[in-house]
Amino acid sequence: MKEQHKFSKAFLEKLVAVTNKRARVVIDHILENGYITTEDLEKTYGYNHPPRAARDVREQGIPLKTFRVKSSDGRSIAAYKFGNLEDIEEGRLGGRKVFAKQLKDTLYLSQKGKCAICAGNFEKRYLQIDHKVPYAIAGDVNYLDSDEDDYMLLCAGCNRAKSWSCEHCPNWETKSSPICAQCYWAFPDEYTHIALREVRRLDIFWDSSELEVYEQLKNAARNNFATVPDYVKIIIKKHFSEDG
C-alpha cells in the first residue's frame, strides 16, 4: 500500500539535487511508494547489498527511518522511508562533508604527508579526509570543532579498502562505536581486530626510491617458491628467532 506524503518545496529541492545513482533509485521509489524494502532493492533494482543503497541516501544528508515489513514470502525484512525532515544535514556536497581546508592541512602536517594505513607519501591533493569511526556508525563527532583526532587522511586505494571492509563487517548493522574504535581501519597502530576478525595486517608502500629493494625481495620470494607476503613473514620469523 502506498503511503501519501506532502513534502515542503525546500525538501523536494534537496531530493532533486541528489545525483548519486543508488541514492536516486531509493529516493524516487520512496517518493512514489512511500517506502522501499530490501526486497525491492534486490529483486527490482538488482542491488545485492541494500543497506549500502540506504547509506548512500543518508550520506547525502537525507534522513531515513528503518522499519520492518513482510516480504512476498512472509519473511520479516527491512524497509526504509524518509525520517524526520528536520534532521536534514547541511554542509554536504556530493554526499561528503565539505571539510575545512584547515582540517586537511592539520592532518597532513600531523601525518607527515603519509596515508594513515599504508604510510605511503602522497601530495596533499591525493589524500582524502575520512572519519576514523565511519560516519554511518558514529555520525560527525565533533565536526563543528574540526577535531582532527576523529579523522584521518587516506590514499584512494586504502580508502576504498576501508569502505569495503567496514560495509561487510557485522558491526555495520549493530553500529557500536567502541567496537569500531578497536579496529585496524580506525587505529592501525593499536587495534584488536579487523572488521571483527582476530587477525593482523601490515601494509607496506614502496616509493620510487625503494623499488630496487622491492624487486630483490620479489626475486628472493620467487626463488623460495613463496609469495612476497609469505616471504616477508619468513624473514621476520627468522630475524626474531636469531635474536631470541
Better pLDDT: 236 or 91: 236
pLDDT of residue 93 exceeding 90, the answer is no
Unique residue bearing C-alpha cell 556508525: 137
pLDDT of residue 84 exceeding 80, the answer is no
H helices present in 82-126, as ranges: 101-110
Interatomic CA distance for residues 165 and 154, integer angstroms: 14
DSSP 8-state code for residue 3: P
CA 27 to chain centroid: 21
pLDDT of residue 214: 96
pLDDT of residue 244: 62
| 153-168 pLDDT tens trace | 999 899 989 988 998 8
pLDDT of residue 95 exceeding 50, the answer is no
Interatomic CA distance for residues 133 and 163, integer angstroms: 11
> C-alpha distances in angstroms, 153 versus 58, 112, 130, 200?
22, 10, 6, 21
Q: Which helix (H) or strand (E) holds 127?
A: strand 127-131
* Strand ranges, E, within 19-122: 36-37, 64-70, 76-82, 92-93, 96-97
| 33-77 pLDDT tens trace | 999 999 999 999 998 888 888 888 887 778 888 899 999 999 999
Unique residue bearing C-alpha cell 609469505: 230
pLDDT of residue 242 exceeding 60, the answer is yes
Interatomic CA distance for residues 140 and 42, integer angstroms: 29
Show the cell assigned to 130.
575520512
Pick from 59, 136, 137: nearest CA to 93: 59
Give strand pairing partners of 151. 131
pLDDT of residue 144: 41
